[in-house]
Amino acid sequence: MSEIRKDNEIEEILEKLAREKGAVEDSPPGDDVIVGEKIRKVREERGLTIQDLAEKTGFSAALLTQIENRMISPPLGVLVEVANALGESISDFLFEGEGKDFSIVRKKERKIVSRVASKDGASEDYTYESLGAGKRGRKMEPFVVRLKPLKTSTPRLSVHQGEEFIYVLEGKVEVILDKYKDTLESGDSIYYNSTIPHHVHSATEEPALILAVIYQGTSSGDK
């Protein structure tokens, strides 16, 4: 049996299992914006298989299948890499419509883009809400992010194209940039290249609230 055929069969099995699991309410509660379904739609329009997208992003086919079927929500770093691999902007996955030259998002109108829950504590555990909804052709993606404390001493660091700016609104936040660590308090900020392995989380047992602005950047090519 050829490797291509094996990959296709594995993909079909993963998608079948994911759809069956998703049918029994395993999608993240309160996920107002259906990111996964939009990713699948764009991928299929590009004529790509799950395995093709896995090779372009470096993520496993199993993870991408779970995201597409709303079994898990994509962390921001994963969303950036998937968008770059598909030649899209993050905003293409978050909202529909042509948009306008400006956007006002009222506090009560903010939509939760995703609720990222970590079962093993090694990945990000947070919710994020978009503040840029409706702005046409935007180059930056502003979010309000509620961070929770880590459940492990070895977090998975995120790496992707672009830049990030973080401003702490409430609480304390620990920032890991490769081998560098620091703690930010309310009113502190940090700006860094997203190509540096990074991770941010609440530095205490209480959630922290941050304003995060992401510049997506461009893909560095197939992986």
Residues 131 and 87 in one domain: no
pLDDT number for residue 174: 96
Kindly state whether residue 102 falls inside one of the protein's structural domains.
no
Kindly state whether residue 220 falls inside one of the protein's structural domains.
no
Residues 88 and 115 in one domain: no
CATH code of the domain in which 76 resides: 1.10.260.40
Residues 74 and 158 in one domain: no
pLDDT in tens, the chain (223 residues): 444 434 444 444 444 444 433 332 333 434 445 788 889 999 999 999 999 999 998 889 999 998 898 888 787 888 888 988 998 888 778 765 667 888 888 888 777 766 665 554 444 567 888 888 788 778 899 999 999 888 777 788 888 889 999 999 999 999 999 999 999 999 999 999 999 999 999 999 999 999 999 998 764 433 3
Last residue of a domain, one of 37, 69, 94: 94
User: In one letter, which amino acid is 199?
Assistant: H
Entry pTM:
0.72
* Closest C-alpha to 66, from 117, 107, 32: 117
Kindly state whether residue 178 falls inside one of the protein's structural domains.
yes
How many structural domains compose the chain? 2
pLDDT number for residue 116: 60
Last residue of a domain, one of 94, 126, 148: 94
Residues 52 and 123 in one domain: no
Residues 126 and 55 in one domain: no
Q: Domain containing 150: what range?
A: 107-215
Residues 139 and 176 in one domain: yes
Q: Which residues pair with 190 in a beta bridge?
A: 166
